[in-house]
């Protein structure tokens, strides 16, 4: 049974990692998947893999923090089926990793603004369509760093904490208009965000597929229920 048949899902940061795994699982449930990220090669590879397994996938290269580029990407998405049923805000990055006293102001603000602005831009552009439809689901992939303090992650943590409040306000504003809004806050996930080397044992991290399964569960809930927020940690807790 394809539980998302005939739905259109827009996924940012969809070229690799958590976003790519969400795209694969959503496509397996019958949704048409539209991937957005900056790196065309990764987007193309993920879309081709989805198609190989019988799914339907499109991709558009765009920086989510660029409102003009995202407006074009959303318009192209609407051109595919004239609707957007699912939005997964997954795009994110870390440029500033240092104690506040030694942080670079430009990198700090770039990390904060890039993560938060991208989420806001995509929501702002997709929301009018969902409101007109009277239905839709928005899942914002945040981080445990938006709830717990970690040394050296002040910019990223502030972005994710602000993203959590944005999610809460949005849910309050649109839940009576047929739109479900959820926040997913993973702990350490084994993705490229850690770079080539990590002080944490990556074998103990959450697999991207596990986060994707959680998102799929949220998206396929019966219409009488919604998940406001879910925290996903590695089996051993905070690593």
Torsion angle, alpha carbons of 113, 32, 23, 30, to 10:
150
Q: Is 117 exposed, middle or buried (0-12, 13-18, 19+ CB in 10 A)?
A: middle
Residues with Cβ within 8 Å of 6's Cβ and at least 6 positions away in sequence, in order, are 30
97 is catalytic: no
User: Do 177 and 207 contact (CB within 8 A), yes or no?
Assistant: no
Residue 97: its pLDDT value, please? Answer: 82
Instruction: Identify the bridge partners of residue 232 per DSSP, sorted by sequence position.
Output: 186
As a whole number of angstroms, the distance between CA 87 and CA 64 comes to 13
Residue 181: its pLDDT value, please? Answer: 98
Residue 197: its pLDDT value, please? Answer: 60
The domains located in the chain, with CATH, are 8-232 (3.40.50.720)
Instruction: Identify the bridge partners of residue 230 per DSSP, sorted by sequence position.
Output: 184
Q: Report helix, strand or coil for 128.
A: helix
For 97-111, write each residue's pLDDT tens digit.
899 999 999 999 999
pLDDT per residue as tens, the chain (239 positions)? 789 999 999 999 999 999 999 999 999 999 999 999 999 999 999 999 999 999 999 999 999 999 999 999 999 999 999 999 999 999 988 888 899 999 999 999 999 988 999 999 999 999 999 999 999 999 999 999 999 999 999 999 999 999 999 999 999 999 999 999 999 999 999 887 766 666 677 788 999 999 999 999 999 999 999 999 999 999 988 87
Residue 238: its pLDDT value, please? Answer: 82
Q: What per-residue string of b and e applies to 146-156 under the rule 16 or more CB within 10 Å gives b?
A: beeeeeebbbb
pTM of the complete model? 0.94
> CA of 79: how far to CAs of 9, 27, 73, 82, 238, in Å?
13, 19, 10, 6, 43
Residue 190: its pLDDT value, please? Answer: 87
Residue 11: its pLDDT value, please? Answer: 98
Residue 93: its pLDDT value, please? Answer: 83
């Amino acid at each position: 049974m394809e539980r998302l048949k005939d739905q259109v899902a827009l996924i940012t940061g969809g070229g690799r990692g958590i976003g790519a795994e969400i795209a694969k699982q959503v496509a397996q449930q019958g949704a048409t998947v539209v991937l957005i990220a900056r790196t065309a090669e990764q987007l193309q590879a993920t879309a081709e893999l989805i198609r190989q397994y019988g799914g339907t996938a499109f991709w558009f290269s765009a920086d989510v923090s660029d409102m003009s580029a995202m407006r074009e990407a959303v318009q192209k998405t609407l051109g595919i089926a004239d609707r957007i049923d699912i939005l997964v805000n997954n795009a994110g990055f870390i440029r500033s990793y240092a104690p506040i006293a030694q942080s670079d102001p430009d990198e700090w603000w770039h990390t904060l603004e890039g993560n938060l602005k991208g989420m806001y831009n995509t929501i702002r552009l997709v929301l009018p369509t969902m409101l007109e439809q009277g239905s839709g689901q928005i899942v914002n992939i945040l981080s445990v760093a938006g709830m717990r303090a970690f040394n050296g992650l002040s910019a990223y943590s502030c972005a994710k904490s602000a993203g959590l409040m944005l999610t809460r306000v949005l849910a309050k504003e649109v839940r009576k208009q047929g739109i479900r809004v959820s926040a997913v806050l993973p702990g350490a996930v084994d993705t490229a965000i850690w770079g080539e080397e990590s002080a944490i044992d990556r074998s103990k991290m959450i697999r991207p597929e596990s986060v994707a399964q959680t998102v799929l569960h949220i998206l396929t809930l019966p219409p009488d229920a919604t998940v406001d927020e879910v925290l996903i940690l590695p089996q051993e807790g905070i690593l």
